[in-house]
Amino acid sequence: MKKLTVIFIILLLSQAAFTQSSSDVLRYSRIYYSGTARFVGIGGAFGALGADFSALAVNPAGIGLYQGSEFSMTIAPSVEGVRTDYLGQMVSNNQVNVGMGNMGFVFTVKPQSGTTGPFRNFNVAFGMNRQNDFNSSFSVSGPNHSSSLLNVYNDKLNNNQGALPSDYPFDIGPAYDASLIYYDSVARKYTSDQPHGGAWQSKQVNTYGSINEFDITLGGNISDKLYFGITFGVPFIRYYENSTYSEKDYGDSIPYFKSMYYDYHLETHGTGFVIKGGVIYRPVNWVRIGVAIHSPTWYPSMHDHWYSSTSAHYDSILLDNTQNSPVGDYNYYMRTPFRAIGSLAFIIGKYGLVSAEYEYVNYSQGKLNASGYSFTKENDEVKSNFQSWGNIRLGTEWRIADFRLRAGGAYYSNPYTTPGINGARYTISGGVGYRMKYFYADVTYQWAQSKEQYYLYNYPGMLPSTNTYTTSTVLTTIGFRF
């Protein structure tokens, strides 16, 4: 299995036949709600406001505040930037992605005219909301005069009596077949031509994909005081990773060796389900209080598909060699944590609003399982490596005739238990909107940033690259009421 031995480390290779690890559980557990431009414009703090399609993914009770039927759609192009700092070597990468924030319908059913009673209306909604993006591209590059990836391979074999390179078909085995490592019969151990490093090391990593959730929401309005709703969500995961790791002897200081390349490809697909319930209470016209509970998200049909290729180049071209791994396929089960969300909003007459939201999520509750393998080690890492904190979202909106001005921000807290490693994410957003009786349009700009410590491989004395991820997104929503 891949081992997460240092928090926020994404290792280069898998150590055996599977690719699932505790870092995968965290990747799919972190949700950064996207959706309509209005929702994002006030930082996603919509749990007590409602009447916005993306709010239904946070607090389904928001459907009760709709007074009529509606269709909305959002496009969200973004620029994903990554700056890496490895041993003083600074590299920046940017890529443009075009995604969809949401698309959804809301239908309102009102009691017949003249009917009395507390029940004001019943609403039904269905559509898609974006929950996370995995698009990034970065490069790590620098000299290493103390170790090589091949040290990891050799230590793995030398510390496991009886282990053979063929037991590791996706990494060590191909390196052995390409003569990058070999058995020294005199020293009785596996070794390589560069046991003390000395090569220029580089890695290019490209990831893309997303989590999109298809939601069906039912809810209503009682006496314009209490709003309720329930959402049945079906999230879809698609994640792709392509990476190339290399070591090159630029100074021709390593006998026989010229360069090596390790190419790795991973695809992950999964379909899950989640149930969300919530209420919004309006004690007075200018205050709204929202509470929502999200069940754990169950993914009974996760599937990984992966393969690798190892190439070796020597001073003599006759020795050059490329070895391909077999293709790996594996089905497994995953569960991500439950969530509890509390929201509070103040409505300032017809002029504007201020909203705040706190989301509790315990990332240590994630879990992997499979037929024939319990993932005990990986699940223990989830429990010990990740922690429970909270996410905070704040926002405001102000009205000027038919126009709206919005601003917001969010803080997604550090999920890691190891001191000194901070995986927090920050977002700032601002936008404008124009609203008429049967049509509206909104535009929002959102800036987001997070950092990670990225290790090329796990070895004593290995230093990480500090990666800074910055995302700039422009969301445009159009909506029609009918």
Q: For residue range 376-418, what is the model confidence (pLDDT) as tens digits?
A: 999 999 999 999 889 999 999 999 999 999 999 999 999 999 8
- Measured at the alpha carbon of residue 395, what is the angle toward residues 389 and 397, in degrees to the nearest 5? 165
The model's confidence at residue 419, banded by pLDDT at 50, 70 and 90, is confident
Beta bridge partners of 441: 434, 478
Quote the CA–CA distance of 435 and 466 in Å, as a whole number: 44
Tokens read off for 427: 């977002």
Q: 3-state class of 376 per DSSP?
A: helix
The model's confidence at residue 12, banded by pLDDT at 50, 70 and 90, is very low
Q: Which amino acid is it at 100?
A: M
Whether the full predicted model's pTM is greater than 0.85, yes or no, is yes
Q: Which residues contact 424 (CB under 8 A, 6 or more apart)?
A: 411, 412, 413, 414, 450
Tokens read off for 187: 């020293």
The model's confidence at residue 11, banded by pLDDT at 50, 70 and 90, is very low
Quote the CA–CA distance of 292 and 308 in Å, as a whole number: 44
Question: Mean of the per-residue pLDDT values for the chain?
Answer: 92
| CA neighbor of 325 nearest in space, from 19, 8, 11, 9 | 19
Tokens read off for 315: 């001073």
First to last CA, the chain: 54
Ranges of each domain in the chain: 22-481
Q: Give 39's DSSP letter.
A: H
- Report, in this order, helix, strand and coil percent for the chain, each rounded to 5: 10, 60, 30
| CA neighbor of 56 nearest in space, from 41, 68, 44, 67 | 44
Question: How do residues 131-151 score in pLDDT, each as one tens digit?
Answer: 999 999 999 999 998 999 999
Question: How do residues 462-481 score in pLDDT, each as one tens digit?
Answer: 999 999 999 999 999 999 99
Tokens read off for 19: 């690719």
Quote the CA–CA distance of 13 and 16 in Å, as a whole number: 9
Q: Give 135's DSSP letter.
A: -
Contact by Cβ (8 Å): 181, 165:
yes
Quote the CA–CA distance of 146 and 201 in Å, as a whole number: 12
CATH number corresponding to 22-481: 2.40.160.60
| Ordered DSSP codes for 456-470 | SS--TTPPPEEEEEE
Quote the CA–CA distance of 373 and 360 in Å, as a whole number: 30
Quote the CA–CA distance of 258 and 465 in Å, as a whole number: 24
